[in-house]
Copies of this chain bind each other. A is one copy, B any other.
Amino acid sequence: MKFLVTNDDGINASGIRVLAQSLAKIGEVMVIAPHTEKSGSGHSITVHHPLRLNKSNAIPNIDHVYMLDGTPADCVKMAIQGLNFIPDLVVSGINLGANLSTDVLYSGTVSAAIEGVILGYPSIAISQCDNFDHLDTAAYFLQIIIKRLTNPLPKNSLLNINVPGLPINQVKGIKVTKLGIRIFEDAIEKRLDPRGRPYYWLGGTPKSLPLKEFDDDHDQLAVENGYVSVTPINFDLTDYSLLNELKGIIETETTPE
């Protein structure tokens, strides 16, 4: 198998090193990752300035390692459309921190995997929750999941994997989950600076909610209960349930007055 490996924590993060070295045991690995941490930079693609691509020796025992001064999505584009690498699987991670529920809309890690499926390749995003001492747990479960995926994923889909911060033998198992909602309550904290002027911190406590009432199989719950969560993701955000109702209300073949 040929793996394209990227992340949003940057080429020097421990997560991508553990990921690449683990996948190298079962296939050919190309690593191309941002040269610095990009987890704050969202989903953007770099169009305002040109990109530099350089070989990197950040990951011992892997031959094809590159760093790019761009975003995670840029890295996937560069590998596939610039370097003509044809992966069997794009893997983004191992992210240091959960990417659960509505997090996926903001996550650079998941964004890279979405870029992979937009370009037509099966993709996985993998994140390590809470305790970063257990990257080996994430790598272990990723191998298990790849082995079980005997059929390739449909080309428009990807898997978002979140692994609890536990030693391998304390993980309860693997659950296939839905996305929930993660809302931060008391999200904005007002403080005064030394001159008495207000400033604001975004923070608050994450509250796990199901997307639909009574759903008890969302990803946050699985991870809280000690399971690895695997959520299939589709990047088609069209709300098909609203489509026909809206047609009747809104559509018109002339300019309305």
Contacts and interface: CB of A to CB of B under 8 A. Distances in A.
Contacts of A78: 188, 200
**Number of identical protomers:** 2
A49 to B, nearest CB: 9
Contact of A242 (B40, B44, B157): B157
B255 A169 contact: yes
Contacts of A26: none
A104 B249 contact: no
A60 interface: no
Given A176-B243, A237-B234, A256 B47 contact: no
A37 to B, nearest CB: 10
A160 B10 CA distance: 33
Interface of A: 40-48, 50-53, 70-71, 73-74, 77-78, 81-82, 102, 104-106, 111, 114, 118-119, 144-145, 148-151, 153-154, 156-157, 159, 168-169, 171-176, 178-179, 181, 183, 187-188, 190-191, 198-203, 211, 230-243, 246-247, 249-256
29 contacts: A40-B48, A41-B41, A42-B71, A42-B106, A42-B111, A43-B106, A47-B203, A51-B200, A70-B202, A77-B202, A102-B118, A102-B235, A104-B237, A105-B111, A118-B183, A149-B249, A156-B211, A171-B255, A175-B251, A178-B238, A178-B240, A211-B236, A232-B238, A232-B239, A232-B242, A232-B246, A233-B237, A234-B238, A237-B237
Q: Which 7 A-B pairs have the closest CB atoms?
A: A42-B42, A234-B239, A232-B242, A232-B239, A82-B188, A42-B44, A50-B199
